[in-house]
A and B are shown apart, each in its own frame.
Chain A
Amino acid sequence: MSLRTTNLSVSRGTTRILSDVSLSIEPGRMLGLLGANGAGKSTLLAAIAGELHPDGGHIEIDDRPLTQLPLRHQARRRAVLPQKPSLSFDLGVREVVAMGTYPFPEIDPVEVDELVSASLTLAGIPHLAHRRYPDLSGGEQQRVQFARVLAQCQAQREPGIVRYLLLDEPISSLDPKHQIELLRITADLAHQQGLGVLVIVHEINLAARWCDQLVMLANGTIIASGAPEVVLTKENLRTVYDLEADILPHPTMPGRLLVLPR
């Protein structure tokens, strides 16, 4: 059971964006995707989200080729939070979160309401329940969208079906406290409910703190993958970000790293 790519290659026009990317999103694990701007992170996530036709390689969800699974069935197993939600129509927060249950039309309205409330609470935003979405700040909108994908994951209740969650820079507009909170919630879901999570993060230290595994992408290929202490080396940071940094053991969290850019 995993959501995995094998030797994945993607081109846009004549430009090769990803070449030979193999990675595996495992249930119960939080996989962090790191890389400089333009390294191909979002393209990789879009490919795993079933939006692109790869030029080569395969994507498999629980050992079935993704292309063989109808979109509705994909949506019942895999929730995706894209980078910049563009909703400008006047919808209420609860209505937006309820969209997470659309792949599950068999759920009755009362249960949808409960799921929406539970997801708002889980995302830490029950106080936004009765606001209109376009009136919210950018950070609040991001948290509502997060609640929407949480609802999509929670709506799948069949035992034995693994749920996957793909997050593209979910904390880019959040303040430091809510950045940590969102990652903590996501990690808890992975560890306690067995979700397989892929998250694109730019903050190296947050990735090091919350992800079980990291993958580093540069120019469309994976240059390092594994546990944070394996991936976060001076050489890799130099290759990926062109960044000189010191890497220290975390002063208060044993087993974790602290990356200090110079």
Chain B
Amino acid sequence: MSLAKADHLARPTRRVSPPAVLVGLGIFALVVALLAALSGAVHIPLADALRVLTTGASQPNDTLWRNVLWDIRLPRVLFAAVAGAALAISGAAMQALFRNPLAEPGLVGISAGGALGAVAAIVLTAGGFSITAPAAFAGSLLATAAAYAVGRRVPGVAGLLLAGIAINTVAGSLIGLLTYMASDAQLRDLTFWNMGSLAGANWSLLAFLAPWTLLWSIWLMRQWRAMNALLLGEREAQHLGFALITVRYKLVMATALIVGPLVAATGGIGFVGLVVPHLVRMTLGADHRWLLPASMLTGALALTLADWLARIVVIPAELPIGLVTSLVGGPFFLWLLARGRRF
């Protein structure tokens, strides 16, 4: 018997109870969110935070605390949670679509298209969030639609993959061209855009993004049977009554609609969509009925944590969050691979 086989036999054969994991993740995410909301350049004790939010200002620091909490921290933390959840569930959907644990939303051109739109807006127009964000959203939708339209002409999912690679290359070279044309100030803007940021968080953005993400995520979660069937094989999925064309279209569309506005609002945040579903699969297995909600919670948790780190490491300045996720996520991913576990 080979060593690998012996290792498999030693693995636990029964997994932990999925609902318990979901509840645990939810509690953990709340605790981290609370911590992130209370600490930073200005520390706010928990009791005081509750007081200023419920009863209004009565002590010297209260107005400052209230403004920090209500106008800056809470939208920021919620935004991090929404973005993390959205990236993670989209990553899980793409991994099911491509039947490959290394897939992520960027594979079908969403991120590159968004980046191209944003860079074009920064270099060719006056810039600013109100132009950059819609341009990035339009870019990501266009890139994904192009990848899908070309990819569907080739049988199987390979067409979509190859079209996505081609679109990514084209978008990358156009970004290069625009970067070459950019002025010094524009260069600085687009570099920061690429590193991602949650600094654009505010209530009006959340009022759109949170329900939008939740709606499409719920819709995506309802497709868990189709995604499981895809794991079994494309032929097998058909034999179980799922039309591949329809399933592919649904997954690509939902991912583009979830990640598109997010890329527009946050810029490039890497690794969450790739690593989080892995982590969940290692504890819960690959059943999408649990993988999808657990990925959302873990993604929310991870990005809240990353954003908190980004804010507290170099107080009073802050690191770009995309830098933190890649800096922590990359080595962590290598460590996962080095342990040689199956996905």
Contacts and interface: CB of A to CB of B under 8 A. Distances in A.
Interface of A: 46, 49-51, 70-76, 78-80, 82, 85-92, 95-96, 99-100, 102-103, 105, 130-132, 134-135, 152
10 contacts: A74-B241, A76-B241, A82-B233, A89-B286, A92-B285, A99-B236, A102-B240, A103-B241, A132-B11, A132-B285
B294 to A, nearest CB: 14
Nearest to A73: B241
B229 A86 contact: no
Nearest to A131: B13
Given A130-B13, A130-B14, A132-B11, A91 B231 contact: yes
B188 interface: no
Nearest to B246: A71
A100 B240 CA distance: 7
Contacts of A76: 241
Given A82-B236, A92-B287, A96-B232, A135 B8 contact: yes
A152 B225 contact: no
A110 to B, nearest CB: 15
A135 to B, nearest CB: 5
Contacts of A130: 13-14
Contact of B229 (A80, A99, A132): A99
B339 interface: no
Given A82-B236, A90-B342, A135-B8, A102 B225 contact: yes
A132 B13 contact: yes
Given A103-B240, A130-B14, A85 B232 contact: yes
Instruction: Determine chain B's interface SS by DSSP, over half rule.
Output: loop
A82 B233 CA distance: 10
Nearest 5 A-B pairs (CB), nearest first? A75-B241, A72-B241, A89-B286, A80-B239, A103-B241
A50 B238 contact: yes
B15 A82 contact: no
Contacts of A85: 232-233, 236
Nearest to A94: B287
A7 B15 CA distance: 51
Interface in B201-253: 225, 228-229, 231-233, 235-236, 238-243
A73 B240 CA distance: 9
B285 A95 contact: yes
B3 to A, nearest CB: 14
Contacts of A132: 11, 13, 285
Contacts, number: 88
B73 interface: no
Contacts of B101: 89
A134 B232 CA distance: 12
B231 A135 contact: no
Contacts of B235: 46, 49, 51, 80, 82
Interface in B76-113: 99, 101
- Looking at B8, B236, B241, B243, the one whose CB has the most chain A CB atoms below 10 A away is B241
A2 B259 CA distance: 48
Given A85-B232, A85-B236, A90 B241 contact: no
Contacts of B14: 130
Contacts of B225: 99, 102, 105
B243 A87 contact: no
A91 B285 contact: yes
A103 to B, nearest CB: 4
B239 A79 contact: yes
Contacts of B11: 132, 135
A95 B231 CA distance: 12
A77 to B, nearest CB: 10
- Looking at B15, B101, B286, the one whose CB has the most chain A CB atoms below 10 A away is B286
Contacts of B239: 49, 75, 78-80, 82
A46 B239 CA distance: 10
B286 A91 contact: yes
B343 interface: yes
B311 interface: no
B66 interface: no
A75 B240 contact: yes
A91 B228 contact: yes
B180 to A, nearest CB: 43
Given A72-B241, A132-B13, A132-B285, A90 B236 contact: no
Contacts of B8: 135
A75 B286 CA distance: 23
Interface in B239-291: 239-243, 281, 285-287
A97 to B, nearest CB: 11
A120 to B, nearest CB: 15
A91 B101 CA distance: 14
A87 B233 contact: yes
B279 to A, nearest CB: 13
A194 to B, nearest CB: 21
A34 to B, nearest CB: 22
B228 A95 contact: yes
Contacts of B228: 91, 95, 99, 102
B79 to A, nearest CB: 32
A76 B242 CA distance: 12
Given A95-B287, A135-B8, A89 B343 contact: yes
A88 B14 CA distance: 18
